[in-house]
Amino acid sequence: MSTSLPAVGWIGLGAMGSGMASSLVSQGFKVKAYDVYPPSLEAVAKAGATPAKTPAEAATGIQVLGLMVVNAYQVDDVLFGSGRVAEVLEDGASIICFSTVPPSFLVTVKERLDALGKNIGLCDSPVSGGSTRAATGELAIMTSGTSSSVATARPVFDALTQAPVGALTVVGDKVGLASDFKLINQVFCAVQIASQGEAIALAKNMGLNPRLVYNLIQSASGHSFMFGHRVPWSLNHDGVPKSAMTIINKDIGIVMDEARQLNFPAPVCAVSEQLFTAAIGAGLIKEDDGLVSKLWERFGGQPVAEKGTVEEEEEKAKELEITSSGKAGKVLFVGLGAMGLPMAGSLLKAGVEVVGSDLSLEAMDRFSAQGGKVASDAVVAAKEVDTVVLVTVTALQAEAALFGADGSSGISSALPQGSTIILCSTVAPADAVKLQGLLDKQNKGLQLIDAPTSGGPKRSATGDLAIMASGTTEALSKASSVLQALSTQAGNAKNLHYIPGGVGNGSKVKAVNQLLACIHLAVAAEGFAFAKHKGMDLKTVFDVVSKGAASSYMMLDRVPRMFQREEAEIHSATTTLVKDLTIVLAEAKRCNTPLFLGQAALQQLTRACASGLGNEDDSSLGRLWEDMGVNLKL
């Protein structure tokens, strides 16, 4: 063992602590360890640590003490109560508190340590990364404390945060700062863990294959780190404990305690806290937090857990294999709004002949300026095309465009036999099925492709949208070249998804995506508003939380727009998300699936509309706390 390594004491050998202590031993540290649970202590002793009979024994004769206990009460008891650790620690030793505890609590601990006059340092050092990374020394750790405290503990930090996966971030020189960052981090983590449970339960209850939905959403706006990391636990858990439900419930409880103390309204976090409390009350206390999806089984929902191996279930979750029937013919593009205009433009760039039509002359002028042809009468234009792309706001608008006010004078009446209609709007699955039924009554072989999109105007302009297309194999084959131009032109072949099950299933997948996207937007606004209310630097908070387990597509895309001093360009109006989430909640009600977080997000979006932000960019959700002096603009 290298003589330059400090002697380490370690107290707390749970799923995280045992891995961390064992990792230090494997890297040559001399570690004295203690835990109240003998089997945990024995396991770490087998790895090479020296077992201690008491906390005080573990803290005697060491330079760095690692604390990985459950909560603030245990920290207090170990240091100043029955554990007597502060009493026996040597002068100049550093304590690393890895536990997630209230920031104000650690400030008090620092004051009590200073009062002893022993120059004992304290590093406020919450961790993230899970038990697997704890055992390999690849954690993400945020720390704050005096430079001398951090310097004494630095060899331990370096050993536990090995690159390239691990990372140490020093966020300041005052105890409490790092816990502030962890608190905000857990706002996003807790809500996004709960949201993946809610979303995957909805997918199952709507009759979708949850693994298929999981695979698809990873390239869509509903994605988050926690969705990608936790859903596999629900689908096919390997039986190895990872992250206890009780821990995330404790963490979100700390968030809500702090919010109440500071008079900060945090409705999405509040619902998340109640969800985890309900899960524990429903008998899931010994489950990992990712298995919160099991709560919906208690309401009569379908079990999410798969029965086969991962390989077998991946085979079942395969998308349709579609072969393009050839180059796209002439396309009529109806709806040149915030999404439709750049989508039509991307088709032009791909070499597709496009005729654009919209009720707005200004919108058609903008498309014409891009080199596109326009038609003021879409019905007349429909006679010369074999493909129509519809990007309307609502299903009623799509129905009016296809069938006219009298049900027989719309675009469909003029389309040639066997034409294909690609509906890219977000509509209820039942509405997509209804439209195909109306087309069938015309006996012209007209086929609808239910193809909602995700990605926003910026990605639509480059042909980089995620598309969830469902319909007959024949229709999908005919429309494949158009769908590819809208989704894979920028080089991402994984953007285009062919959903089995026929018309309506694309909209079901989109419903799950929109549920997640709206929840993630709502918690992004809430979390950063809370950080600002606490006086934290928003740019630093964003830099820290957006690169780890708290990250989501909506955070990365919307929060920079929340920070803009000027009014954000309207990429997606708040009213659009209200419409989308209303559809989702109606679908959930049809299959008896309560959406607790979805409803909370809808209430926030509705409140934004009531505050005059309905026609603003949906990032304006971050303005909901301005009436209490919280402004997110940098």
Cβ neighbors of 52 (< 8 A, separation 6 or more) are: 9, 32, 33, 34, 58
Cα distances from 621 to residues 180, 543, 550, 613, in angstroms, run 23, 20, 19, 8
Peptide bond before residue 38 is cis, with ω within 30 degrees of 0: no
Contact criterion met (CB below 8 Å) for 422 and 503: no
Give the span between the Cα atoms of 107 and 507, in whole angstroms.
Answer: 51
CA neighbor of 202 nearest in space, from 467, 601, 580, 587: 587
Burial class (CB within 10 angstroms; exposed 0-12, middle 13-18, buried 19+) of 610: exposed
Give the span between the Cα atoms of 43 and 131, in whole angstroms.
Answer: 15
Structure tokens at 242: 């990872």
- Calculate ∠ Cα 131-136-138, nearest 5°: 85
**H-assigned helices in 206-262:** 210-217, 225-236, 245-261
Q: Which residue of the set 32, 110, 182, 508 is catalytic?
A: 182
Q: Which amino acid is at 311?
A: E
3-state secondary structure of 95: strand
3-state secondary structure of 343: helix
The one-character DSSP state at 240 is -
3-state secondary structure of 373: strand
Give the span between the Cα atoms of 261 and 560, in whole angstroms.
Answer: 28
Give the span between the Cα atoms of 587 and 433, in whole angstroms.
Answer: 14
Stretch (H or E) spanning 168:
strand 167-172
Give the span between the Cα atoms of 554 and 76, in whole angstroms.
Answer: 38
Cβ neighbors of 368 (< 8 A, separation 6 or more) are: 356, 374
* Longest CA span, the chain: 90
Give the span between the Cα atoms of 422 and 477, in whole angstroms.
Answer: 12
Say how many Å lie between the first and final Cα of the chain, rounded: 50
Structure tokens at 30: 């001399």
Structure tokens at 87: 């009493």
Give the span between the Cα atoms of 465 and 487, in whole angstroms.
Answer: 4
> Which string of DSSP letters, residue by residue, matches 571-594?
SSBHHHHHHHHHHHHHHHHHTT--
**Is there a catalytic annotation at residue 182?**
yes
Contact criterion met (CB below 8 Å) for 601 and 268: yes
CA neighbor of 333 nearest in space, from 259, 294, 387: 387
Burial class (CB within 10 angstroms; exposed 0-12, middle 13-18, buried 19+) of 267: middle
Phi and psi dihedrals of 394, rounded to 5?
-130, 165
Give the span between the Cα atoms of 429 and 446, in whole angstroms.
Answer: 18
Half-sphere exposure of 75 (CA within 13 A, CB side): 26
Give the span between the Cα atoms of 133 and 19, in whole angstroms.
Answer: 8
Give the span between the Cα atoms of 419 and 446, in whole angstroms.
Answer: 5
Report the catalytic residues: 182
